[in-house]
Amino acid sequence: MSTHEDVLSSENLPHEPEKATLEGKNKFLGFWFFLGGETVLFASLFGTYLALRNSFGNAEGTPTQELFGLELVFIMTVILLTSSLTSVYAMYHMKNHDFKKMMVWLAITVILGASFLGLEVYEFNHYVHEYGHTFTSHAFGSAFYALVGFHGAHVAFGLCWILALMFRNAKRGLNLYNAPKFYIASLYWHFIDVVWVFIFTVVYLMGKVG
Amino acid sequence: MAKDTNSNQYQDQFYKQKHKEEMKYQVITFAMMIAFTIIAFGLVAGPFSKLFVVPVILVLAGVQVLFQLYYFMHMNQKGHEMPAIMIYSGIFAAVLTILALTTITWI
């Protein structure tokens, strides 16, 4: 029977350390429950955007075809997709109990996520200053920033989360206490990418088509 | 915790091999997702009609999400019955939400 000490300083990690403890299993189930809820939350924002994407009211606005540029969105998509793969690599090394390599891949994931966020800030800044496309200018603007901005906030939160885990556990090494935490954070990161797949398709690509 | 070190060694080797195999599929998944992304952007940039492009890119997005869920988020592995229930209930409610918002609310 494993005690408290074993969990915190486990030398011989079992297969799948993220689900070896009851707490790890509960975290895993609870987090998927949360992701189901997040799906609905984003769906309400997507539905709002789809309904209002051509609503300018009495205000002057730039239609989606002229507003969006595909190059930047393509680069952002590739960056976020790659960061999803690097966090898969991090979990691969976690399963092989290689803490150092896991940290390296998590660091790469964070760098890619941060560059994605930087590009998004640049993009929003561009829309506001070049096109006067703001949150309050018309219903389309509100729906657009609510949806894409909310996703950006998720990316920012995910970055803080992974960084906090990395700093807190830097000297601890991998154990049964923190393995579930890393695993859950990587699930969250993949979910961010899932949402982005729909954002680039529904918002940018469909916006470009008209 | 160290019970049977000898058999653990073989087990470790077995699992390492297994993880390597999984990783290979995940890299293939990644390559396919990149390819799908390029196809989607290419379709939009190319001279195709809207009625053709929109359904195709939506299907491509759907497939990409399934890749992401089943390979990157490990839903293809054992013990993922509850996650599947959670995420599919979420998707069910999501579809209803989007349908309601786009057809009834703002018309």
pLDDT of A109 = 97
Question: By the CB < 8 Å criterion, does A56 face chain B?
Answer: no
Locate A134 and state its tokens: 């703001």
Complex prediction ipTM: 0.88
Domains of chain A by start residue, with CATH: 19-44+78-209 (1.20.120.80)
- The per-residue pLDDT of chain B, averaged, comes to 89
Q: Nearest CA to CA, how far is B3 from chain A (Å)?
A: 9
Phi/psi at A65 (5° precision): -60, -40
pLDDT of A4 = 61
Q: Nearest CA to CA, how far is B57 from chain A (Å)?
A: 7
CB spacing of B93 vs A81 below 8 angstroms: no
Q: What is the pLDDT of residues A19-74, one digit of tens each?
A: 888 999 999 999 999 999 999 999 999 999 999 988 888 888 888 888 999 999 99
| A2 pLDDT above the threshold of 90 | no
Locate B37 and state its tokens: 């992304």
Question: By the CB < 8 Å criterion, does A88 face chain B?
Answer: yes
Q: What is the pLDDT of residues A76-98, one digit of tens each?
A: 999 999 999 999 999 999 999 89
Q: What is the pLDDT of residues B48-68, one digit of tens each?
A: 999 999 999 999 999 999 999
Output A130-134 pairs: Cβ under 8 A, ≥24 positions apart. A131/A62, A131/A67, A132/A60, A133/A61, A133/A62, A133/A67
d(CA B72, CA A35): 15
Q: Nearest CA to CA, how far is B32 from chain A (Å)?
A: 11
SS3 A174: coil
| A200 pLDDT above the threshold of 80 | yes
CB spacing of B19 vs A38 below 8 angstroms: no
User: Which positions of chain B have pLDDT values less than 70?
Assistant: 1-7, 107
Q: What is the pLDDT of residues A164-198, one digit of tens each?
A: 999 999 998 898 899 999 999 999 999 999 999 99
Q: Whose CA is closest to A148, among A77, A62, A54, A57?
A: A77
The partner residue sitting opposite B44, judged by closest CB among A70, A89, A92, is A70
Q: Taking each helix axis as running N to C, give the angle between helix A99-131 and helix A70-95, from 0 to 180 degrees, rounded to the nearest 10.
A: 160
- Residue A3 vs residue A90, higher pLDDT: A90
